Amino acid sequence: MSSTFSNWSRGERELDLLVGRATQGLSEAELQELRQAGADEELSFDLAAAAADLAMIDQVEPMPASCRAKLEHAARTFCASQRPPVVEVVGSERRDGVAGRIDSERRISMGWVAAAAGILLAVLAWLPKLSVSSTGGGTPPLAATPAERRAVLLAEATDKGVWSWSDFKHPETQADPEIKGVRGDVVWSGERQEGYMRFEGLPPNNPANERYQLWIIDERGLSQRVSGGLFDVHAQGETIVPIRPAVPIGTPAIFAVTIEKPLGVAVSDMTRRACAAIAVR
Amino acid sequence: MNETLLRRVAAGDESAVQACIDRFGGLVWSLARRLLPTAADLDDAVQEVFVEVWRNAYKYDEGVASETAFVAMLARRRLIDRRRRLERRHDRDQLPDSAADDATATPVGLGLAEEARAAADAFEQLSSEQRRCLRLSVYEGLSHEKIAASTGLPLGTVKTHVRRGLIKIRQLLGVGPPLETEGATGEEVRS
């Protein structure tokens, strides 16, 4: 926080933007302008507005019990996402070994910038292959493998969505992805905050050189950063990877997989793409 | 007040995550009730704020602001973003009774912590017009344009009062050194 107060030679326009953000919010274009000016991490005006707000509050209402219950559920989800990653047995044909895993990458702030909108619009034009199904509810029994847990989710989550992978073409140039023809799907339940990616044709990677990175965009869109995490594929054939987002996901709009350096990236340039699934309901 | 709560959250202390709800739940709920135009999605909004707080707890620096101010800042930013996203800004046709002539409103301590009183002291040092514009902007959530329309002040004057008021508060509270930008601290009122 203190590091954000290093540059005080602000121009009029930057001050207008900082004051505007602190009081009435900014448009995406204005936020981008602030980022380009290197002032988006400047917090002192936001803190001043918060202080002014605190000064004027005359009473604090207690949070309703129903809201608190939801919040405590979110807290448990958040805490679970922060625990050390667990090596998962994935790939229904390989229960005797590790075929892949996914890490919760709390430090990777996704920072999916304007290109995300392009992805959403451009990919929508040729990608959607949608199937949504619903079956009865119930509490899922414990399942040992991602494949089994995925089956339970498919069978019992009433709000689940299932969306097919397609080639993740470049949103502007429409260039083909580096990895083409990946098959499989994403299944996701918002109520359970649980989901799985099933891949066929996603080639094994060498984690020392590169890793797959999942990106999720929900209805919060560009302003909300959601980390999808890194994962590896260690075997040919079908691979199932559990999704463990670092934060609760709202209504997902797109799941996309890119190939990145071993530690992942904060903002993908999308030069190395694999597949994407548009979550249209 | 436990000054290390957010640091404990950042360190992965699950009890601290719950303690955040205990300590700031009422504040965030109250902010959401006031800043969002409808009650339809208050629960989701509050959850979104807390996730933001937990995710950003590692950024907290007690040398810059209190935990309450930090949480309020994150909450306000998230709630304002949400309001814009929903494209349902506060659409109040008339000024709230408490705001229309409330240039001398007396800030009331929250019982949250001493920082609220410090903020109130700073707020009291603003000019009456600065307090009025800040109240309408920050507390009531009105756009600068709507404040201008409601008060009869020129838009530029409203913006100047808001800006100058925030600059003074941040200086009084020590959340940043004086600005060097030409015009930022000038005395003229834009019109």
Six-digit token string for A54: 């605190």
Of the two residues B115 and A24, the one the predictor is more confident about is A24
Q: How many CB pairs under 8 A join A and B?
A: 219
**A274 touching B (Cβ < 8 Å):** no
Query: Side chain identity at A46, as an amino acid letter?
Result: D
Across residues A168-178, what is the average pLDDT? 85
Is A129 a residue whose pLDDT tops 60?
A: no
**A44 touching B (Cβ < 8 Å):** yes
Per-residue model confidence as pLDDT tens digits over A220-269: 765 555 667 778 888 778 888 888 776 778 888 888 898 987 766 666 77
pLDDT number for residue A13: 87
**Extended beta strands in chain B, E state:** none
Is B2 a residue whose pLDDT tops 90?
A: no
Please say whether the beta carbons of A52 and B169 come within 8 A: yes
Q: Are residues B76 and B143 in the same domain?
A: no
Cβ–Cβ below 8 Å for A54 and B76: no
Segment holding B164, helix H or strand E:
helix B155-173
**Segments forming the whole domain that contains residue A49:** 2-56
Per-residue model confidence as pLDDT tens digits over A83-96: 544 333 333 333 33
Q: Are residues A50 and A119 in the same domain?
A: no
- Compute the half-sphere exposure of residue A49: CA atoms within 13 Å on the CB side of its CA: 29
Segment holding A212, helix H or strand E:
strand A211-218
Is A98 a residue whose pLDDT tops 70?
A: no
Cβ–Cβ below 8 Å for A71 and B25: yes
Q: Are residues B74 and B13 in the same domain?
A: yes
pLDDT band at A108 (very low <50, low <70, confident <90, very high): very low
Looking at the domain assignment, is residue A271 inside a domain?
yes
Looking at the domain assignment, is residue A11 inside a domain?
yes
Six-digit token string for A89: 């047995």
pLDDT number for residue A248: 77
Q: Are residues A234 and A135 in the same domain?
A: yes
Which residue does chain B place closest to A74, by CA atoms?
A: B47
Is B96 a residue whose pLDDT tops 80?
A: no
d(CA A85, CA A227): 14
Looking at the domain assignment, is residue A199 inside a domain?
yes
Q: Are residues B149 and B102 in the same domain?
A: yes
Looking at the domain assignment, is residue B183 inside a domain?
no
Is A132 a residue whose pLDDT tops 60?
A: no
Asked which of A54-68, B34-48, B114-128 is least confident by mean pLDDT, the reply is B114-128
Q: Choosing among B166, B172, B185, B188, which should be mutated to test the A contact, i.e. which has the most A CBs within 10 A? A: B166
Q: Tell me the residues of chain B between 54 and 113 that have a Cβ less than 8 Å away from chain A.
A: 54-55, 59-61, 63-65, 68-70, 72-73, 75-77, 80-81, 83-85, 105, 107-108, 110-112
Q: Are residues A46 and A143 in the same domain?
A: no
Which of A10, A39, A56 finishes a domain? A56
Structure-token match 């602190």, residue found: A22
Is B141 a residue whose pLDDT tops 70?
A: yes
Q: Are residues A227 and A95 in the same domain?
A: yes
Number of domains observed in the structure of chain A: 2
pLDDT number for residue A215: 85
pLDDT number for residue A97: 31
Q: Nearest to residue B81, comparing CAs of B41, B55, B45? A: B45
Q: What is the mean pLDDT of chain B?
A: 77
User: What residues pair up with A275 in beta bridges, in sequence order?
Assistant: A167, A257
Six-digit token string for B125: 């040092």
Number of domains observed in the structure of chain B: 2
Per-residue model confidence as pLDDT tens digits over B9-47: 888 788 899 999 999 999 999 999 998 887 778 999 999
Is A117 a residue whose pLDDT tops 80?
A: no
**In B5-24, which positions are buried (b, 16+ CB within 10 angstroms) versus exposed (e)?**
bbbbbbeebbebbbebbebb
Q: Are residues A108 and A10 in the same domain?
A: no
CATH of the domain at B53: 1.10.1740.10
Six-digit token string for A233: 């594929």
Looking at the domain assignment, is residue B20 inside a domain?
yes
Looking at the domain assignment, is residue B124 inside a domain?
yes
Q: Are residues A36 and A124 in the same domain?
A: no
Option in B107, B111, B166 nearest A19 (CB):
B166
Asked which of A57-61, A81-85, A245-249, B58-62 is least confident by mean pLDDT, the reply is A81-85
Q: Tell me the residues of chain A between 141 and 180 that have a Cβ less than 8 Å away from chain B.
A: none
Q: Are residues B33 and B105 in the same domain?
A: no
Convert B14-32 into a string of H (helix), E (strand) and C (coil).
HHHHHHHHHHHHHHHHHHH
Residues of B in contact with A83 (CB under 8 A): 12
Cβ–Cβ below 8 Å for B73 and A52: no
ipTM above 0.85, yes or no: no
pLDDT band at A22 (very low <50, low <70, confident <90, very high): very high
Cβ–Cβ below 8 Å for A2 and B61: yes
pLDDT band at B156 (very low <50, low <70, confident <90, very high): very high
Q: Are residues B79 and B101 in the same domain?
A: no
d(CA A18, CA A37): 11
* Shortest alpha-carbon distance between residue A86 and chain B (Å): 16
Cβ–Cβ below 8 Å for B144 and A23: yes
Q: Are residues B54 and B108 in the same domain?
A: no
Q: Are residues B66 and B138 in the same domain?
A: no
**A121 touching B (Cβ < 8 Å):** no
**Segments forming the whole domain that contains residue B169:** 97-173
Of the two residues B179 and B154, the one the predictor is more confident about is B154
Q: Are residues B141 and B162 in the same domain?
A: yes
pLDDT number for residue A126: 32
Looking at the domain assignment, is residue A70 inside a domain?
no
pLDDT number for residue A133: 28
Q: Nearest to residue A16, comparing CAs of B155, B64, B25, B120? A: B155
Which residue does chain B place closest to A31, by CA atoms?
A: B81
